[in-house]
Amino acid sequence: MALPLPLPRSLRWRLLVATFVATAVAVLLAGWLLSGLFREHVTRQFVATLTTELDQVTARFELDANGRPLLDPARLSDPRWTRPYSGLYWQIDEMAGAAPRRGVLRSRSLWDTELRAPTDAPADGEVHVHEVAGPGGAELLLVERTVRMAPGRGAAWRLLVAADRRDSAAAVAEFNRLLAGSLAVLLGLLMVAATAQVAMGLAPLKALRRGLNAVREGRQQFLEGEFPQEVQPLVDDFNGVLQRNTEIVVRARTQAGNLAHAIKTPLAVMAQGAISAQQHPETLVALPAFVTDQVEVVRRHVNWHLARSRAAAAQGMPGVRAEVAPVAQALVRVMSRVHAERGLQFDIAVVEPGLAFAGEEQDLQEMLGNLIDNACKWARSAVHIAASRVPEAATPQLRLVVEDDGPGITVEQRKQALSRGVRLDEATPGSGLGLAIVHELAELYGGHVTLGSGRLGGLKAELLLPRTRSAMPSTTVANRLVDDVAVTNYHAQP
């Protein structure tokens, strides 16, 4: 089997080849149609002329007193009737009996030959048209008519008029030659116009390429200039990508600087502790615990900045999703073990099983885990967790609500609770960073967290986050392998 020809990689050549093929086919079809129409027109005119001559022969045909046919050639106007083999002929056949008598009368131009038309039976006065061979094998167009001198009775006479088709064939051939030359010139002009059109149409792509080279070489930061409305959306999207990459680079530099600044102090403290241990050997016993505490501080800062980087990178990224129900159930299992001695009751109400967060699952675990952990620290006996979509939002959003039946906090304390390092009760274990982490991660994803009074009498934390538009079938917790150690990583965040 023959393999299909590969298409050229050049867009210009693809357009030109497609245009040439389409134009050539259209021109050929037009030429075939025009040639056929002209040939048909010439044939109709030829038949009309022969019919006029047949009418003249019919008008001059008569019978004498004895019933013999008469036709005076001198009464026919065209001189070709009398010139032998002139190309214009007439003949009269008698149709009496089973065998017709051919050439009872005939024009002098036939000389010693006869016209032989196909045998048919036209009605009286009806004209039939045939193509026959004439003297010398010439191709003739023949028209015939059957007449009777007495309507309905008497002998029938078949009147034939024929003419050579060479002149009409020559006219058709000349027309076809002129038509072919004209269409060839037209095809050439159309291809020149198509080449110019393709060049003009692809010119913006050259400008786009020059702009890309300028961006790559650092001569400009974004694509500049005016482009056609078909190309402008591509330019805008590409500039958006460049803008986002610039923001990512700036954010990465800022986060790297923040991380370096954050771990500089613990490193300096550890260095000072090592020097102090060398100068005062009696403090060497406390050095491991001291170093462990500072390493924990460094690790918390590293994990926190990694979480921020992950959230910033996942924001708006297509295909990133995390189902709420499995994450919430896994977190409740962990919290029930962490706070097992308190006997807390957990209630999970996920309105839509396929509800999914448009972000990284680890970040969802971080935010929801901190809210549940904070509720467990203050709850007396019960913690309620609810998840639902926000129908009135302009963009797809989901709402996560975590409530406890603890003492709650005042309006002034709610604002302080979202600040980094603020602990409202020094007696309760923690670093004072849990709610601040939730607040900052939510803002990175374009959401926010609010604190208020719940139905259970304690604190109510409401978290709004972006939601995926399509819900996929939810995976049951029994079929998922959840690493509880990974889920509880929020304990190590700053």
Could you read off the pLDDT of 390-428 as tens digits, one per residue?
887 778 889 999 999 888 887 777 777 776 544 444 444
**CA quadruple 229, 235, 241, 246: dihedral, nearest 10:** -130
Same domain, 329 and 452: yes
pLDDT at 337: 87
In the chain, % of residues over pLDDT 90:
16
In a domain, 207, yes or no: no
- pLDDT for the residue 467: 86
Q: What is the pLDDT of residue 307?
A: 64
- Max distance between CA atoms of the chain, in angstroms, equals 165
Residues 270 and 351 in one domain: no
- The pLDDT of residue 27 is 94
Return the structure tokens found at 153: 């009775």
More confident call, 456 vs 493: 456
Residue with tokens 């929801």: 368
311 domain-assigned: no
Residue 58, in any domain of the structure: yes
Question: What is the C-alpha to C-alpha distance for residues 459 and 183, in angstroms, rounded to an integer?
Answer: 86
**Do 297 and 391 lie in a common domain?**
no
Angle, CA of 36, 41 and 47, to the nearest 5°: 125
Answer yes or no: is pLDDT of 21 > 90.
Answer: yes
Encode pLDDT of 145-185 as tens digits. Answer: 888 876 656 678 888 999 999 888 999 999 999 999 999 99
260 burial level (CB within 10 Å; 0-12, 13-18, 19+): exposed
Using 50, 70 and 90 to split pLDDT, how confident is the model at 35? Answer: very high
Residue 221 lies in a domain: no
Tell me: do 293 and 431 sit in the same domain: no
Q: Are residues 104 and 26 in the same domain?
A: yes
The pLDDT of residue 304 is 65
Q: What is the mean pLDDT of the chain?
A: 79
* Whether residue 296 sits in one domain with residue 338: no
Q: Are residues 278 and 325 in the same domain?
A: no
Radius of gyration of the chain (CA): 51
CA dist., res. 160 & res. 147, Å (int): 11
Q: Which of 10-19, 83-92, 228-237, 475-484 has the lowest mean pLDDT?
A: 475-484
All residues at 6 or more sequence positions from 56 whose CB lies less than 8 Å from its CB, including other chains = 76, 77
Name the domain count of the chain. 3
CB 467 within 8 A of CB 357: yes
Q: Which residue has the tokens 């065209």?
A: 78
What confidence score (pLDDT) does residue 111 get? 87
For the packed helices 287-314 and 434-444, what is the interaxial angle rounded to 10 degrees? 20
Whether 284 maps to a domain, the answer reads yes
Tokens for 63, please give them. Answer: 């019978």
The verdict on residue 185 lying in a domain is no
Measured between alpha carbons, how far apart are the two ends of the chain, in Å? 68
Domain contains 184: no
Considering 246, 274, 301, which residue would you say is the last residue of a domain?
301
pLDDT for res 484:
41
Q: Is the pLDDT of residue 220 over 60?
A: yes
CA–chain centroid gap for 166, Å, is 58
Given a cut of 50, is residue 477 above it in pLDDT? Answer: no
For the cut 70, the answer to whether the pLDDT of residue 481 exceeds it is no
Predicted local confidence at residue 441, as pLDDT:
83
At residue 36 the predicted structure's pLDDT band, cuts being 50, 70 and 90, is very high
Say whether both 280 and 346 belong to one domain.
no
pLDDT tier at 309 (50, 70, 90 boundaries)? low
Can you give the pLDDT at residue 351? 60
- Cα(133)–Cα(73) distance, rounded to whole angstroms? 23
The model's pLDDT over 55-109, given as tens digits with 9 standing for 90+, comes to 888 888 888 777 788 887 778 878 888 888 888 999 888 887 666 788 888 888 8
The answer to whether residue 294 sits within a structural domain is yes
Does pTM top 0.85 for this prediction?
A: no
Residue 156's contacts (CB-CB under 8 Å, 6 or more residues apart) are 94, 95, 96, 124, 146, 147, 148
Which pLDDT belongs to residue 38?
94
Handedness of CA 471, 477, 480, 482 (dihedral sign): positive
In three-state form (DSSP H/G/I as H, E/B as E, the rest C), the secondary structure along the chain is CCCCCCCCCCHHHHHHHHHHHHHHHHHHHHHHHHHHHHHHHHHHHHHHHHHHHHHHHHHHCEECCCCCEECCHHHCCCHHHCCCCCCEEEEEEECCCCCCEEEEEECHHHCCCCCCCCCCCCCECCEEEEEEECHHHCEEEEEEEEEEEECCEEEEEEEEEEEECHHHHHHHHHHHHHHHHHHHHHHHHHHHHHHHHHHHHHHHHHHHHHHHHHHHCCCCCCCCCCCCCCCHHHHHHHHHHHHHHHHHHHHHHHHHHHHHHHHHHHHHHHHHHHHHHHHCHHHHHHHHHHHHHHHHHHHHHHHHHHHHHHHHHHCCCCCCCEEHHHHHHHHHHHHHHHCHHHCCEEEEEECCCCCEECCCHHHHHHHHHHHHHHHHHHCCCEEEEEEEECCCCCCCEEEEEEEECCCCCCHHHHHHHCCCCCCCCCCCCCCCCHHHHHHHHHHHCCCEEEEEECCCCCEEEEEEEEECCCCCCCCCHHHCCCCHHHHHHHHHCC
Domain boundary pick from 151, 169, 187: 169
* 37 has pLDDT over 90: yes
Characterise 194 by phi-psi region: left (phi > 0), alpha (psi -120 to 50), beta (else): alpha
Of 140, 169, 198, which one is at a domain's C-terminal end? Answer: 169
* Domain match, 406 and 378 both: yes
User: At 423, which CATH number?
Assistant: 3.30.565.10
Closest C-alpha to 420, from 404, 408, 407, 438:
438
pLDDT given for residue 181 in this prediction: 94
Range of the domain at 44: 14-169
The reply to whether 159 and 237 lie within a common domain is no
The verdict on 324 and 259 lying in the same domain is no
- Amino acid 336 reads S
The answer to whether residues 295 and 322 belong to one domain is no
